[in-house]
Structure 1
Amino acid sequence: MLSLSTTQRDELLAIYRKDSDPELRFRAHIILLLADGHPWDNIESMLFCSSRTVDRWLKRFQAEGLEGLTGRKRGRPFRLGFGWVAILVNWVTTTTPSDFGFLRSRWSCVLLALLLREREGVRVSRETVRRWLHRGHLVYRRPRPTLKPDEDERQVKLAELRKLLEEMPEDETAVWQDEVEVHTNPKIGRMWMFKGRQAKVETPGTNKKRHISGSIHWRTGQVFVTEAAPKQGRDGALFIKHLDDLRRRLRRYRKIHVICDNAGSHTSLEVIQYLWKHEGRIEVHLLPAYSPDLNPIERVWWHLHENITRNHRCKDLEELLDRVFTWLGQANPFQIEGSAYPKARAA
């Protein structure tokens, strides 16, 4: 049986479906049928050809690959050297048009063709530039916006948190806190389905959601959650309610250190007044900005979405919340994932 790599199969399928040469489509069809395990007799009867034809193109493909089917290298000959491809790739990936005096924020094929003519004396069209960029394994796609944290600030705060945990007395403890939203309109994720038949996940239509504030205990991995009131957002009142729950659940500890992000709900005036009132019992420490990777409770929420909320088929919010809290209860305690912090000593 003929074996094809994923790349070979994709290229053969592209030829069979789109190539303008019927002879080339015919040869690709033969190879694809052989790779799928069809007997030679069936291929001969389906394509109205002889065994000699099947044998010829099989041997050509095994000896020369795709070029053996075409009889020539596919596409227009590359008349200029690969050095120009490297130059274009370097310009696009390491510079901006403003570095060359252009009043533009991003590269275009026309602009690159103009720059090649002005700086290198090479006259090519924008379509040639496009083909060269593809040869350099570049594609024209929408980028993903990201927030770049201040690395110096990140390292300073991380060192402070590590020192806090390493030197923490036995009568004090720490938790990592964050909120999560549970929606009746499910998050969509991958699932098994029949090939060519996209599965459907029915949604309620009108979305309803509920916020949950949660913390994971540094020493035990126990997760404590506080459900927000209906229509209550991620606000200071929910955070304070969760802090009250922590004080009750962790009564054995003299002081609780709560490590959380810089959200406004964690630094509002009402939260500051609450912390002033309970000074010595509870203290909040802020993570570096844009650092969800330093908050282990984020991994708990990721597992929650993977196991419960993604592609769920709950009819209403009450059914969904019941599953969420049941899963949280069964999965407790959680493993604290990641190695950014020292492991806790036995309490």
Structure 2
Amino acid sequence: MYDLGATRPKEGIPMQCIVPSVSFFVKQRLCKRLRECRDAGLKVRYLIILNLLHGRSAYRTAHVLGVHNTTVYRVANRFREHGEWGLYDAREDNGQTKLSEWFLQLLQRLVRGSPRQYGWRRPTWTRELLVETMARRTTVRIHVTTMSRALALVKARRGRPRPTVRCPWSKAAKTRRLNQIRELLATLPRGHRAVYEDEVDIHLNPKIGLDWMGRGQQKEALTPGQNVKRYLAGSLDVDTGEVLWVESTRKTSALFITLLNKLLARYPDAPVIHVILDNYRIHDSKITQAALRGFGGRIRLHFLPPYCPTSNKVDRVWQDLHANVTRNHTCANMTSLMIEVRYYLRKRNRKAMARACQHSCARRMPRAA
């Protein structure tokens, strides 16, 4: 008997070995069923058999119908063993699908956790590990490729976890402080200014991040022999989105005080400048407190809860800075890298000020009657 698992019939093998010869009346019945059929998949299987019965090779049949060679042999095998009934789709007789709603809900809960919570030593999930865990918990074992479909159905994805530190404050205290800051911004007196403040480290060693590459290729990010750092202290204006920044080779109280002086020079008419910031040590040092007393109360500090970077809006600016400048950069020295940093921040400020001007003009325009 001819091996139907092959991709193409060998030379000299007659077509009758692939499908049995049938009478003229059987061919006529198959043609009639083909015309009456409304199922696209079933039509293709009828056409495969009719092409083979008319003497076409399996390779030519697959080419004409736009299917794979193995599909032709599989359909021919079913027709030879079961006749015309073998052409019908019998998958509904397989019983209920393994990827039931209950199975997918359990898989979704599984992905949210860690393998260690289910007795494994590995800290991250693999498809094989998910298959084994689901088999233990549900007695339903699926293939790894089926697990890929199941993960797509529950909208699971492979991603990098975000490193976080747990806030030592209670949830009530954290919520109370954030509400106080929101109320401050909502009821800011006329003439007062509010800014978010934070520092960022600029490393000559490039931050490694995802990038598009050719198949089988991997880009290289050259690193210097010795890392060099620069520190930026920056503020984000709540109203305009403008970023003010100062630079230094050391992250000390002097860097923070320099930024405060720049804020006073930028907003000379503001009676009070409210600075929303984290509780880093240079923000509350003795040198900083002495400088604040020298400012005559024009600058007030409002501290965020500890380890709460998502509430500091300027942190998003630093993330964009890394994404657009420092990640996978090719600068050979710190001077050229800082030129790119300053160019990005100035360009961002021009866009922010243009948006602020548009919003201001839109508010001043009278409404149409």
Sort the TM-score into its range (normalised by shorter chain).
0.5 to 0.7
Cα distance in 2 between the residues matched to 1:183 and 1:94: 34
Cα distance in 2 between the residues matched to 1:70 and 1:248: 85
Residue in 2 aligned with 1:54? 63
Residue in 1 aligned with 2:244? 224
Query: Relative to structure 2, which stretch is displaced further, 49-58 or 309-318?
Result: 49-58
Residue in 1 aligned with 2:342? 325
What's the offset of the Cα at 1:164?
1.6
Structure 1 residue corresponding to 2:207, chosen from 187, 203, 206 = 187
Residue in 1 aligned with 2:302? 285
Answering whether residue 216 of structure 2 is matched by residue 196 of structure 1, we say yes
Contact conserved, 2:131 with 2:143, CA < 8 A, in 1? no
Where 1:335 maps in the other structure, the secondary structure is: helix
What's the offset of the Cα at 1:177?
0.6
Change over 3 Å in CA distance of 1:200–1:55 after alignment to 2: same
What's the offset of the Cα at 1:271?
2.6
Structure 1 residue corresponding to 2:330, chosen from 313, 336, 342 = 313
Query: Relative to structure 2, which stretch is displaced further, 48-57 or 259-268?
Result: 48-57
Cα distance in 1 between the residues matched to 2:229 and 2:344: 18
Contact conserved, 2:98 with 2:142, CA < 8 A, in 1? no
Residue in 1 aligned with 2:190? 170
Cα distance in 2 between the residues matched to 1:99 and 1:330: 48
Structure 2 residue corresponding to 1:209, chosen from 208, 215, 229 = 229
Change over 3 Å in CA distance of 1:241–1:144 after alignment to 2: closer
Letter aligned with residue 156 of structure 1: R
Letter aligned with residue 61 of structure 2: R
1:3-18 mapped onto 2 (5 Å cutoff): none
What's the offset of the Cα at 1:87?
8.5
Contact conserved, 2:203 with 2:228, CA < 8 A, in 1? yes
Structure 2 residue corresponding to 1:301, chosen from 318, 336, 361 = 318
What's the offset of the Cα at 1:90?
7.6
Bigger relative contact order, structure 1 or 2 (CA pairs below 8 A, ≥6 apart): 1
Change over 3 Å in CA distance of 1:96–1:212 after alignment to 2: closer
Where 2:289 maps in the other structure, the secondary structure is: helix
Q: Percent identity?
A: 31
Change over 3 Å in CA distance of 1:134–1:315 after alignment to 2: closer
Query: Relative to structure 2, which stretch is displaced further, 160-169 or 174-183?
Result: 160-169
Where 2:201 maps in the other structure, the secondary structure is: strand
RMSD: 4.9
Letter aligned with residue 300 of structure 1: V
Contact conserved, 1:257 with 1:285, CA < 8 A, in 2? yes
> Gaps spanning 5+ residues in structure 2: where?
9-56, 79-88, 354-359, 365-369
Where 2:260 maps in the other structure, the secondary structure is: helix
What's the offset of the Cα at 1:283?
0.9
Structure 2 residue corresponding to 1:246, chosen from 260, 263, 276 = 263
Where 2:67 maps in the other structure, the secondary structure is: helix
Cα distance in 2 between the residues matched to 1:308 and 1:141: 22
TM-score (ref. length: structure 1):
0.60
Residue in 1 aligned with 2:19? none
Letter aligned with residue 342 of structure 2: F
Residue in 2 aligned with 1:36? none
Cα distance in 2 between the residues matched to 1:157 and 1:93: 34
Cα distance in 2 between the residues matched to 1:211 and 1:109: 44
Where 1:288 maps in the other structure, the secondary structure is: coil
Letter aligned with residue 180 of structure 2: E
Change over 3 Å in CA distance of 1:115–1:214 after alignment to 2: same
What's the offset of the Cα at 1:311?
2.6
TM-score (ref. length: structure 2):
0.57
What's the offset of the Cα at 1:98?
11
Contact conserved, 1:188 with 1:310, CA < 8 A, in 2? yes
Change over 3 Å in CA distance of 1:163–1:333 after alignment to 2: farther
Residue in 2 aligned with 1:161? 181
Cα distance in 1 between the residues matched to 2:313 and 2:77: 55
What's the offset of the Cα at 1:260?
0.8
Cα distance in 2 between the residues matched to 1:197 and 1:163: 52
Contact conserved, 2:62 with 2:68, CA < 8 A, in 1? no
What's the offset of the Cα at 1:325?
1.7
Cα distance in 1 between the residues matched to 2:331 and 2:158: 39
Residue in 2 aligned with 1:38? none
Where 2:352 maps in the other structure, the secondary structure is: coil
Letter aligned with residue 63 of structure 2: V
What's the offset of the Cα at 1:248?
2.8
